[in-house]
Amino acid sequence: MNIATISRRAFAYICLLCIIGLEGLCMQAEVKKSVFGTMPDGTAIEMFTLQDGDVSARIMTYGARIVSLDVPDRNGKIADIVLGYDSLDGYLGDPKTYFGAIVGRYGNRIGHGTFVLDGKRYELPKNDGDNSLHGGTVGFDKRVWAAHEIPNGVEMTLVSKNGDQGYPGTLTAHVRYTLSAHALKIEYSATTDADTVLNLTNHSYFNLAGEGNGDILDEVMTIPADRYTPVNAGLIPTGELAPVAGTPFDFRTPTVIGKRIDQDNEQLKFARGYDQNFVLNHATNGPGMHEAAQVMDPKSGRVLTVKTTQPGVQFYSGNFLDGTAHGKHGHVYEKRAALCLETQHFPDSPNQPAFPSTELKPGQTFHSVTEYVFSTQK
């Protein structure tokens, strides 16, 4: 065999490797559409199943919700790690947990259900004591979103008209879910025809041991935040950006969630555990995707890393779950059966001028990205 023949074969082999590599890069998640049920008015609720290797997610059009999220543990065993229901009726009959939903127009709380914008006072529904929570009594979680398939996922769209739940301006919101390389990405965008306020987030409840499989007190949390926003007894921020150092809210190094959750601390008593907004360090370090939190379950080895462009993350330890929610497979969701990591702007920002602004004006496009990355640890 001469040198020319060897060179030709080597060249062909290199080309084959390149083709295989490009095909790997171009591989897309499989997306399937089905019907999950019908609303009382007969509207069909669509379910989109995203599958990429051994990770899969189901997203439905009612509330643009994550219904299930199946990921492997350290031994390759697959489990669904988000709380929810087996049927649409479960979601329709649950007005308070927001399992897996996109919440808005304003996620989290607005104090006294009111804010002033451009010199005009707006009144919102008070569905959390004296406050407005997650957009009001009929927020985005209770709406049927329009949906269409996109590469690797699905895009959901909702038009919220001027005056909807008291908010000004007709808002058009888009949420894109895509699954690739063990990561579920949520990309938010929105436009308005009049000045308004906006805070969109996802309200999934995670238990890395598997939904219905005990509580999350043994899971290990890391949050890269030097400060958090303390609240009053109504869980409305005081306006202070307080240091986490020396408090139960210091998760700058990996810490078992249950280690300090019942300490004699006023903030923990107000929320019955963790339900605070953390000021992510990257908020002062410039734009882009940065880590917001990491959770590790020592039993299964599953690791969830949350990345975001948002300035804050609300860590909620499932304190108000009380056993009344009977979820998937009949599982009873008791107190602290899961945790939420809601990437966001800060609660009550429209009433807190020192917080990053949540105003959106005509001609502007709100845009944020959050990514849930799944891995394992031995």
Q: DSSP for 188-252? A: EEEEESS-EE-B-EE---B-TT-TTSS-STTSEEE---SEEE-B-TTS-B-S--EE-TTSTT--S
CA 330/CA 373 separation, integer angstroms: 28
The residue ranking higher by pLDDT, 285 or 318, is 318
Phi, psi of 297 (to 5 degrees): -100, 115
Q: Is residue 13 part of a domain?
A: no
CA 341/CA 371 separation, integer angstroms: 11
102 pLDDT higher than 80: yes
pLDDT for 114-151, tens place per residue? 999 999 999 999 999 999 999 999 999 999 999 999 99
Q: Is residue 200 part of a domain?
A: yes
Q: Kindly state the average pLDDT of the residues 167-176.
A: 98
3-class DSSP state of 285: coil
pLDDT for 195-204, tens place per residue? 999 999 999 9
The full length of the chain comes to: 378
Q: Is residue 226 part of a domain?
A: yes
Instruction: Give the per-residue pLDDT at 188.
Output: 98
pLDDT for 257-295, tens place per residue? 999 999 999 999 999 999 999 999 986 656 789 999 999
Cβ within 8 Å of residue 354, ≥6 positions away: 239, 241
Q: Kindly state the average pLDDT of the residues 9-30.
A: 51
CA 325/CA 98 separation, integer angstroms: 12
Q: Are 202 and 71 in contact (CB under 8 A)?
A: no
> pTM (2 decimals)?
0.92
Q: Which two tokens stand for residue 308?
A: 């975001």
Q: Are 376 and 73 in contact (CB under 8 A)?
A: yes
Q: Which two tokens stand for residue 96?
A: 């308070």
Tell me what the pLDDT averaged over the chain comes to: 93
Count of domains in the chain? 1
Q: Is residue 10 part of a domain?
A: no
Domain that holds residue 253: 30-376
Q: Is residue 304 part of a domain?
A: yes
Instruction: Give the per-residue pLDDT at 151.
Output: 97
* Biggest CA pair distance of the chain: 86
Q: Is residue 6 part of a domain?
A: no
Q: Kindly state the average pLDDT of the residues 320-349.
A: 97
CA 270/CA 121 separation, integer angstroms: 28
Q: Which of 323, 317, 216 is nearest to 272 (CA)?
A: 317
CA 204/CA 182 separation, integer angstroms: 17
Which DSSP category does 8 fall into? H
Q: What is the CATH number of the domain that holds 285?
A: 2.70.98.10
pLDDT grade for 13, boundaries at 50, 70 and 90: very low
Q: Is residue 1 part of a domain?
A: no
pLDDT for 210-245, tens place per residue? 999 999 999 999 999 999 999 999 999 999 999 999
- Verify whether residue 155 is a known catalytic residue: no
3-class DSSP state of 282: helix
Q: Is residue 2 part of a domain?
A: no
- Verify whether residue 291 is a known catalytic residue: no
Instruction: Give the per-residue pLDDT at 288.
Output: 84
Q: Which two tokens stand for residue 374?
A: 């799944």
> Per the residue annotation, which of 46, 155, 342, 371 is the catalytic one?
342
> Per the residue annotation, which of 203, 282, 331, 345 is the catalytic one?
203
Instruction: Give the per-residue pLDDT at 3.
Output: 39
70 pLDDT higher than 60: yes
